[in-house]
Amino acid sequence: MIVPPTLRLPAGMRDFAPDAAAARRGIAEILLGVFERWGYARVITPAFEYEDVLALGLGPAGRAAAIRFVEPSSGQVVALPPDITPQIARLIATRFRDEPGPLRLCYEGTVVRLDQRAHSQREIIQAGVELAGVAGPRGDADVIALGAEALAAVGLGDATVALGHLGLAREVLDALGLPEDAKILARGRIAKRDRAGLEEILRQARGPKALVRFAAELPSLSGPPSVLKDALARAPGGTPGIRAALKNLQQVVAELSLRRIPARLHVDLGEVRGWDYYTGIRFQGYVDGAPDAVLAGGRYDGLLARYGRSCPAVGFAIDVEATAGALEALAPEGAAGALATLPPGKHGNGGVLVIGPLEQALAVAEKLRKQGRRAAVDCGELADGQVDAYARRWHFTEVVRVPRSRAANSRRRDRVS
Amino acid sequence: MKRPASKSTRDKAGDFDGPSARKRGIVTLALPRGRILDEAMVLFGRAGIDLSPVEKAKAERRLIVPLEDAGMRVLIVRDADVPAYVEYGAADVGIAGRDVLEEQDRDLYEPLDLGIGRCRLVVAEPQDRPVDEAAHIHLRYATKFPEITRRHLQARGIVAEIIKLHGSIEIAPLVGLADRIVDLVSSGETLRQHRLREVETIFPVSARLCVGRAAAKLMPDRIDDLVARLSRALAAG
């Protein structure tokens, strides 16, 4: 098939047909509903911003992921945000500068990320929360519990929350006295959980032996929360930063146990990836049916200060598309109910197609809509034989035929099979 | 890796089908055909995982092979396709050469170097027409590995055109397609036959176990067990 060049979409951009759009909208609505029930107030951030303002929060990797262009009216460089958190940070530091907090904000929006490797961009619908003004493990646990609850609400109650701490690997690598390029290589090997490769790099480390041994363990220190006790036992003395990070994780686990979250906990001390602004705990939600995390978040106590207001904060975002993908993948195996309940209007509140002389048909439709039903009036396009097929195609579960006679009561209502 | 004894293998053959075998605790392993497969057979055997059904399936041209005793199933795929299967979660783990993994640079865990499928990725040129890097203004490199070649040349500060080929790389310099090649070499015999000489080794290659991010989090016990068995087999061998 030849698509005329004038009608192509840029790589990575796409449309969602009604069913897919309804599923995604349904998921986003459920997520925002949960966020709002937990006291988070919804905000909407702009489609693009000045690049230098976004860059304050994004750091080098985030900047590289942003699509930039010159705003014609000002000649300034603007960028589509690859991540909404810096926008919220700016919002909190400016609009809510004098608000004592804590601030609970949530959002739903689209981010666009360049993927250098795929020579393409990706449009991601996200729904997320930011909790600003609450420092420490209690805030972390609160937000993680909300994330688990939100996933459960869309039908992904069998999630695994992986907990890590970005400060940990940072402390370890800094204490080792590695040259800067070796540090980057070491980080890469930890990210790949490549123990042998990491040990190779650690040969140039100048730090104490116990520390080097601990560093070499980082890729393998993952498993149930009891891993933390093990790690604390192995953590070398004289490294308060490392112990503090591990204790911080333990406190989060303890806080979470008070909350009985609908997810399993997995601790992963080799987690070194993430946006540049993360400072402490880092967490992801994994579910069957999705090859990567559907939820990702963490603590970023330094981010708001970059925008002029020093304030601790923690948050996460859920990838709505990845969530829909996981639900679709799981659907044939018994979770079908989860997805089927999602598209509003498609199921349950089934639509009505009204056919007949315009004036009467309009009156019938208006009445139905007032009752909260979905109703469309045929404008005379459909031949008799087409009506049922059309109704099925667009999920109208009922066809109302208003007769030409004035007797309104004699109208026929047919169920669409 | 014993599965619960109560499960009759015959009744549960269907367990090994379908996209979400992981939910039923079955580890899906993507294996490349060829030399890596033969060597993996030996290594996995030492780790207590019998891959002989894969041999049999290969003869019957079946590409999805249940390993009921091990609670695993094997997908037989092209070597360059292994990382994609694992990244997208169609397989939980896979075995791929460092050449393939570095060329594709996908987001996978690589917990173990299996030490099999050993060779080297080298730069080579005709013995009688060595390249003077400083003098050349337009160099052409032919390779199956354009990304690795690009990174290598960038690190060396060499500006060159890279031509992606899918095979018979060694004839490219002989017929004027390229000045140099970047290719895998084990004994060096193929290079000698084509009157090529090695300029430098980019890196030594061996096959690694790669693990998908979700699999590592959703079935940590099974994955850790597999890694532990294989590292013990490696240490013993």
pLDDT in tens, A102-139: 999 999 999 999 987 777 889 999 999 999 999 999 99
Do A309 and A362 lie in one domain? The reply is no
- How crowded is residue A392: how many other Cβ atoms within 10 Å of its Cβ? 12
Query: Which of B20, B87, B217 is closest, CB to CB, to A266?
Result: B217
> Do A194 and B214 make contact, defined as CB atoms within 8 angstroms?
no
Among residues A339, A363, A383, which one ends one of the domains? Answer: A339
Residues of B in contact with A293 (CB under 8 A): 213-214
* A286 close to B (CB below 8 A): yes
pLDDT digits (tens, 9 = 90+) for A68-100: 999 999 999 999 999 999 999 999 999 999 998
- Residue A155 confidence (pLDDT): 92
Task: List the CATH code of the domain at B11-117+206-236.
Answer: 3.40.190.10
- Best interface-test mutation with B: which of A292, A295, A328, A330 has the largest number of B CBs within 10 A? A292
Task: List the CATH code of the domain at B119-203.
Answer: 3.40.190.10
Q: Is residue A369 part of a domain?
A: yes
Q: Is residue A399 part of a domain?
A: yes
Do A36 and A125 lie in one domain? The reply is yes
Do A265 and A386 lie in one domain? The reply is no
pLDDT digits (tens, 9 = 90+) for A235-276: 988 888 999 999 999 999 999 999 989 999 999 999 888 778
Among residues A275, A308, A339, which one ends one of the domains? Answer: A339
Do A127 and A266 lie in one domain? The reply is yes
Domain of residue A287, residue span: 10-339
Q: Is residue A1 part of a domain?
A: no
pLDDT digits (tens, 9 = 90+) for A17-60: 888 888 888 999 999 999 999 999 999 999 999 999 999 999 88
> Do B19 and A192 make contact, defined as CB atoms within 8 angstroms?
no
- How crowded is residue B78: how many other Cβ atoms within 10 Å of its Cβ? 13
Do A160 and A258 lie in one domain? The reply is yes
Residues of A in contact with B23 (CB under 8 A): 288, 333
- Residue B3 confidence (pLDDT): 42
- Residue A407 confidence (pLDDT): 52
- How crowded is residue B153: how many other Cβ atoms within 10 Å of its Cβ? 19
> How many pairs of residues across A and B have Cβ atoms under 8 Å apart?
63
Q: Is residue A5 part of a domain?
A: no
- Residue A335 confidence (pLDDT): 40
Q: How many structural domains compose chain A?
A: 2
Do A278 and A402 lie in one domain? The reply is no
CATH number of the domain bearing residue A222? 3.30.930.10
CATH number of the domain bearing residue A383? 3.40.50.800
- Give this complex's ipTM: 0.83
> Do B20 and A268 make contact, defined as CB atoms within 8 angstroms?
no
- Residue B1 confidence (pLDDT): 43
Distance from CA of B182 to the nearest CA of A (A): 21
Do A188 and A165 lie in one domain? The reply is yes
> Do B111 and A284 make contact, defined as CB atoms within 8 angstroms?
no
pLDDT digits (tens, 9 = 90+) for A173-211: 888 888 889 999 999 999 999 998 999 999 988 888 899
Among residues A319, A339, A359, which one ends one of the domains? Answer: A339
Do A44 and A149 lie in one domain? The reply is yes
Amino acid at the residue A409: N
- Residue B4 confidence (pLDDT): 43
State which residues of chain B have pLDDT below 50. 1-13
Q: In chain B, list all ranges with CATH 3.40.190.10.
A: 11-117+206-236, 119-203
Do A328 and A406 lie in one domain? The reply is no
Do A361 and A232 lie in one domain? The reply is no
Distance from CA of B211 to the nearest CA of A (A): 9
Q: Band of the pLDDT at A410, cuts 50, 70, 90?
A: low
Do A329 and A204 lie in one domain? The reply is yes
3-state secondary structure chain B: CCCCCCCCCCHHHHHHCCCCHHHHCCEEEEEECCHHHHHHHHHHHHCCCCCHHHHHHHHCCCCEEEEHHHCEEEEEECHHHHHHHHHCCCCCEEEEEHHHHHHHCCCCEEEEECCCCCEEEEEEEECCCCCCCCCCCCEEEEECCHHHHHHHHHHHCCCEEEEECCCCHHHCCCCCCCCEEEEEECCCHHHHHCCEEEEEEEEEECEEEEECHHHHHHCHHHHHHHHHHHHHHHHHC
